[in-house]
Structures are given as C-alpha cells and as structure tokens.
Chains A and B, each alone.
Chain A
Amino acid sequence: MRRQIPLFITFFIGTIILVSEFIPHKPFGNISTTLGGWFLIISGFAIILGQLNLFKVNLTKISRKAPNWQYYIISLVCFLIMLVCGILWGTLRQPGLLYNSEGLVAFFGLKPFDYIFKYLFENLSATMFSLLAFFMASASYRAFRARNAESTLLLVAAVLVMLGRTTIGSTLTGWIPDSLTYLHLPNIANFIMEYLNTAGQRAIMICAGLGVIGSSLRIILGIERSYLGGR
C-alpha cells in the first residue's frame, strides 16, 4: 500500500493535468486550476523545508567537526542574522514584528534586512560571479588552440562572436561600405548566433522535449519510481 497509493495519486493527477491541456472545460479545467493552487501551497512549504534542511545539515557538520567546519558556523550565523532582521524589522514593504522601526531606518537609511541585502549580499554575489571572468580568460588562453580542423573552427567562431558582441567589434569594421555590410563584425556574430547556433540549439531542445515527454509518461504510468525513494 505504501507504494500503490502514491503511484495511484501520481497517475490520477498526471492524467487530469494532461487531459485538461486538451479539454480545458469542466470538470478538468477547474480541477487543474485547484491542483495548481495546491502546488503553489506545497512549494511554499518546500521553502520552509529547505531552510530547516540547511539548518540541520550545517549543525550536523559543525557537531561532527567536518573539514572546514568553521565555515558552516559563519553560514548559520549569517542565516540567523537575516532571519532575525527579516522577522523583527521586515523589509521595504513588509512590516516586521517591531513594525516599521523608524529609528533604525533613520540610522541606516534602510531597514536592516534591506541594508545587509543591498550593501553586503549583492556585492558579494556579484563579486563571486565576476571572478568567472578571470578564470574564463585563463581557460580560453589555454583551451583555444588550433590543434585540428574542429578546434580551429571553434576558435574562429569564438573570436568572431567575442569581437562582434562588443563595442570594439563595431568600431573595428565600422568603416566597411554598405555593399559589404555582411563583413561587419556584429553582423558576422549575429549570423553565427542566429543561424548556426540556433540550428544546433533547436536540435538539442527537440531532443530534450522528447526526453521530457518520455520520462513524464514513465512517471505517470508508474514505470519510473525513483521519486518514491526506491529503484
């Protein structure tokens, strides 16, 4: 029964959602809307579950003194600071338990949650993401070598797109007369992106779409059961 009931629910719900896409009338349309509402509620709870899980995982690692356990303390402290700031003082449009806390807003210019978000979190996140530029530069230098025909093709395409997607690309070939406009670097980059890239992407997307249909049917029909925790 522990397996049959979830399998039946999956089959029943999956079939209704599928049918409602083709027959969006009563009763399927209404049931599908209600199920959508349920999904949103469950998603909300999933966020709470995720936060509790984060707490549990970090606490376990600290208690077991896992490698670099000190970092997990920092992570938990940051989590708690944001949580407390959010609950007590709220955010820009959301009042907290201590309501609008004008004193703190007058001091920081923003509510504590918004202040930490804007002046710490945003900058740290952007910095982490920006580091990619350094690694990409180093990786491009090492990887883009014209070793054979395929790698040469990749190298040429990459250089053309890189140049064409910058303001330098337009400046370099801006003098080209209108009759030879197809040689203008941004136009070459657009050609590569819109035709060669798009053709490849579409093939990948169609294959992925077929894969999604296949795996969805396997789940609805109960062939694929790994989501139940078994094999």
Chain B
Amino acid sequence: MSLFQKLIHIDRRIIFILIFFGTAVPLLLVLNLPVEVTKNVKNVYKMVEETPEGSPVIISFDYDPSTKPEIQPMAVAIIQQSLRNKLKLICIALWPMGVQLCNEAFEQVLPLFPEVKYGIDYVNLGYKAGGMVTINHMAKDLPSTFPTDAGGIPIDEFPIMKGINNFSKIGFVVGLSAGDPGLKQWVMVVHDAYGRPVAGGSTAVQVPYLLPYVNEQQQLTGLVGGLKGAAEYEKLINQPGFATKGMDAQSVAHLIIILLIVIGNVGFFITKRTK
C-alpha cells in the first residue's frame, strides 16, 4: 500500500487518539484563544439588561445531563446576569431532569449573591409533563399548572409568585433547550400567541433548526448556540467559566477534524490521478 493509499485509510484508532489529546491537552493547558461575540448572543444579553429591575422572568430547563456541558454554562451565565440585575427568576422544567440541573446551576451561582432568597428572588417550580400543552396551560392559568414548587410547597406561599397568573407580567422567557419540547414550543406559545419576548440557548446541533426563528419579527430575540455561544455570554458578563475553557478544546478538536479531512482528500486525489 502506497503512502497516499495509507492516507485515505487511516486507522480509526489513530483518529480517536488524536481527538482525545486534542481535547484533553487544551483543557489542562488553557490556551485562552480570543472569543468573538456574535449578534445573536449579544441580543440575549441586551434583552436581559434592558428588562426593568424586579420583573419576574421565566427560565426553562429543557435539557438533561447528556447536554449539560454545553447548556449548563449558559444557564449559569444567564442566572448570574439576571440576579445581578435584580430580576425575579421563575424556573421550570419541561424535561424531568431539568429540575436537578436548575438546582445545580443555582448552587453554583448563589455564593456570589448571598442576599438572594428562595421564594423571594427565585423559585424552582419543577417538572411538568405535557410539553407545549403545559406552556399553553401556563398562559391561561399558571397557578393551576404549577400549584406547588419542586418541593411540594404551595406557590401562593412564595412572594415571587404573587399576582403571576399567566404570562402578562413576565418580562421574558429564556428556554434552555436540547430538543423537543423546548425553545420552539416557547416561541410558538409565548411569543407568537401572547407577544412576550422569548430568547434561548441550545446545543450547537440544534442551532440550524432554531435559526429561522431569529428573524425580523423577533420570534426569538436572540439565540445562544452551543459551547461557543456560552463562551460568548461568559465574556459579555465578564465571568469566564467552563465554556471559555471548553472552547479551546473544541477549537483544537475542530482543527484536527479539518486537518484529517484535508489529508483524506489529498490522498484521495493523488490515488485517483495515479489510477
């Protein structure tokens, strides 16, 4: 087998080793490659910034641990910015495991805001099955959709929930979504039917599917896409965290993939020509 034929048949184990070191090394030795903020991420940041102090807002945790490395940094960054701006956070989950991920995000953020109190500044209403029907029902009667919080305490015991019967007083909804039900359903009900601003974050693979909603009608005010979007958000709030670190690894892994594609194509062309 000639050298060029070998190039088009690299053993997959070699590729796996390259990817392993390509991701592990940058995670250990931080490269600090510059992160450029894009328009869609800036729009989400601006929406949170411009919401008046004290407004109740909804953050929906519609993902599970498999996508946590991508989406949790966004959740942490958005919660930090919202608490800094003294917004009241009503958290819910359309995915069963979103409840725990919400708790973990707050666990990470709360040490920075010792004055923030559960039930007054934020609340975790827990998971509700039903997807889009749940959102629709919240729009008509929020207290009957979520009569208690995640711990079974009636929501009328929480000052944050006083007077919140539907979406009319909600400043915005941020959907952190890894699939269905998720951001698309929030757009269809909260923005399209009730005219409230909706923005969100999603995994990188979902971005092409959600981008059509970022349009002149502002069905989505903005979109934080994948780990890169999360790193951009961390830069905007001036709190570099897991996403900023992870972006180095992702960038190197992408570069390795591109190099492999180039090598494969060089081998392919030369072998084809010699035939």
B261–A126 CB distance below 8 A: no
Interface residues of B in 32-49 (CB under 8 A from A): 33-36, 38-39
Cβ of A158 to closest chain B Cβ, rounded Å:
8
Query: A44 contacts which chain B residues (CB < 8 A)?
Result: 129
In angstroms, Cα B39 to Cα A128, docked, is: 32
In angstroms, Cα B67 to Cα A36, docked, is: 30
B257–A47 CB distance below 8 A: no
Q: Which of A4-12, A71-79, A168-176, A220-228 contacts B (4 or more CB under 8 A)?
A: A168-176
B261–A122 CB distance below 8 A: no
Query: B34 contacts which chain A residues (CB < 8 A)?
Result: 167, 170-171, 174
**Candidates A123, A130, A141, A193; contact of B264 at CB < 8 Å:** A141
Query: B67 contacts which chain A residues (CB < 8 A)?
Result: 129
In angstroms, Cα B252 to Cα A128, docked, is: 21
Whether, in the assembled complex, A68 has its beta carbon less than 8 Å from a beta carbon of chain B, the answer is no
Cβ of B221 to closest chain A Cβ, rounded Å:
15
Which of B144, B208, B263: most chain A CB closer than 10 A? B208
Q: Which of B82-90, B109-117, B133-141 contacts A (4 or more CB under 8 A)?
A: B133-141
Cβ of B268 to closest chain A Cβ, rounded Å:
5
Whether, in the assembled complex, B5 has its beta carbon less than 8 Å from a beta carbon of chain A, the answer is no
Whether, in the assembled complex, B64 has its beta carbon less than 8 Å from a beta carbon of chain A, the answer is yes
Cβ of A45 to closest chain B Cβ, rounded Å:
9
**Candidates A95, A166, A171; contact of B250 at CB < 8 Å:** A166
Which of A32, A158, A166, A174: most chain B CB closer than 10 A? A166
Cβ of B135 to closest chain A Cβ, rounded Å:
10
**Candidates B33, B99, B264; contact of A142 at CB < 8 Å:** B264
Whether, in the assembled complex, A163 has its beta carbon less than 8 Å from a beta carbon of chain B, the answer is yes
**Candidates A140, A155, A163; contact of B260 at CB < 8 Å:** A140
B151–A36 CB distance below 8 A: no
Question: Looking at chain B, what size class is its interface with the partner chain?
Answer: 35 or more
In angstroms, Cα B18 to Cα A118, docked, is: 29
In angstroms, Cα B12 to Cα A136, docked, is: 11
Whether, in the assembled complex, B248 has its beta carbon less than 8 Å from a beta carbon of chain A, the answer is yes
In angstroms, Cα B19 to Cα A91, docked, is: 37
Chain B proximity mask over A126-161: 1 for CB below 8 Å, otherwise 0 = 101110011011101110111000000001001100
Whether, in the assembled complex, B23 has its beta carbon less than 8 Å from a beta carbon of chain A, the answer is yes
A170–B260 CB distance below 8 A: no
Query: A126 contacts which chain B residues (CB < 8 A)?
Result: 65-66, 68-69
**Candidates A121, A137, A171, A194; contact of B211 at CB < 8 Å:** A194
Whether, in the assembled complex, A43 has its beta carbon less than 8 Å from a beta carbon of chain B, the answer is yes
Known: A47-B96, A123-B65. 8 other contacts (CB 8 A): A40-B130, A121-B65, A125-B68, A141-B257, A145-B265, A165-B228, A166-B255, A167-B228
